[in-house]
Amino acid sequence: MSNTEPSSRHLPKAVKLGDIPVGHYHAAMERGHPIRRAWHQQKFARILGCLPDGPNQSILDVGCFAGSFLSLLPQERYSRQVGVDILPDQIAYAREHFATPFRTFEHVSSIEGISGIPGTFDCATLIEVIEHLHPHELDEMFRQVVAKVRPGGLIAMSTPNYTSTWPLLEVMLNRVSDVTYDEQHVTRFTYWNGPQKLMKLAPALKEHCELTLRTTTHFVSPFLAVFGLGFSNRVSHAVPHSLWTFPFGNLLLMVFQKRG
């Protein structure tokens, strides 16, 4: 972590995505309150668990922010890693801290800029991205992302589940956290309507992809971090995502596979 990174204690509350301090969520994952650390670590672990476990894959992380997710991925599994985001300061942070010969970070000025990323990928991830986009932006986003995924490849995403305790958590976070979400989360999904609503808003998904997984995560496990982060993570990993059908976890996970 750079010593020049501003402390959120001395900044106004972040209302918009671009207001969030550079590296904020990575700092929360590494040394924040145990619940916040567990939240981020388990979120990334669940997304990774939705993806194939073979070697020498390629992955595109859309809305990578400060690069935290890709920073956790080994070269042996993902020999080509590309993160993209529209926030130049977050991309600069990601490049400074996590860029390697096999891991690069690209700033795009708009969603349409995804088309300029060279090549195609085995996997694409959108981790807490889609709730920040308006319907017309979702349509364009997934037209771009689907075009970047190879036939048979996967698109995995997470988003808050509004048929859970998330609305209550959001109210609490808006009061006590240094980041508020009521103006950031503009398109909301539930376990019950998530895939159908997303395919309606993003026709490219319906046209070119099939839903292969819908599940939830983050029901109680992050909150158990008050008893120890290791204990919390063990609980999170106790049931594989493929066997977890409980609809009320605070995060909704969806995976789509591009047709061959």
Domain that holds residue 21: 8-258
In a domain, 1, yes or no: no
Number of domains in the chain: 1
Q: Using one digit for the tens of pLDDT, what is the confidence trace for 234-260?
A: 999 998 887 888 999 999 999 999 998
Q: pLDDT tens digits for 140-191?
A: 999 999 999 999 999 999 999 999 999 898 888 766 665 555 556 889 999 9
DSSP state of 100: B
**Is residue 3, in this structure, part of any structural domain at all?**
no
64 three-state secondary structure: coil
Under 8 Å between Cβ of 155 and 144: no
Among 116-120, 138-142, 191-195, 242-246, the range scoring the smallest mean pLDDT is: 242-246
Alpha-carbon separation of residue 22 from 19, 181, 252 (angstroms): 9, 17, 26
Q: Which CATH number characterizes residue 27's domain?
A: 3.40.50.150
Tell me, yes or no, whether 2 lies in a domain.
no
What confidence tens digit (pLDDT) does each residue in 55-107 have?
999 999 999 999 999 999 999 999 999 999 999 999 999 999 999 999 999 99
